[in-house]
Amino acid sequence: MITDINRDKLRNALYEFTPQDRNILLKDKLITITTSKTNYSVETFKKKIRLFNAMLNKMIFKRRWKRHINRIVFFTFIEKSPTNELLHCHMIIRVPEYLNSNEILCSFNAIVIRFKDDYDNYEFEFDCRERWNAIKYSTKQFSTYNDNLVIN
């Protein structure tokens, strides 16, 4: 469980992220992936997010993307709504500064759509919005249902 002190430390670390190795953090983009199934397993959801990350990196960097110093990293904050048990996550993404962030987000959306078409299931939806407080919103605490941080 993330305590308030740790949540503030994490929030400050994300705000004060300094670009290194030619990587930047998309601090003003609120990226959300939602499931349409109730009582969806958190572990299964984490595996699918890791799969999306691997597919996106492989699409951009081709071979040897795991060793690439500028690979795309997801900071994923998983939440579950307390009323109807719907699982979703908010993401902040670290990307190489030499790539166009809008193209990366379009590729990410295409991967989620292709995943839905290939497996003939409509369990995931992708949404990306410009938001000045994306970091604060992603790291918010409103209940005990949103204490999962995953870094892929």
pLDDT, mean over the chain: 77
Specify burial of residue 90 (Cβ count, 10 A radius: 0-12, 13-18, 19+).
buried
Question: Tens of pLDDT along 1-27?
Answer: 555 666 677 766 776 777 777 888 888
Q: What is the pLDDT of residue 41?
A: 81
Tell me the C-alpha to C-alpha distance, in Å, between residue 59 and each of 64, 65, 73, 75, 107: 11, 9, 14, 19, 8
Domain count, the chain: 1
Q: What is the mean pLDDT of residues 78-102?
A: 82
CATH (domain of 23) = 3.30.70
Structural domain including 146 reads 4-151
| pLDDT bucket at 143, cuts 50 / 70 / 90 | low
pTM score, whole prediction: 0.80
Asked if residue 110 has pLDDT above 80, the reply is yes
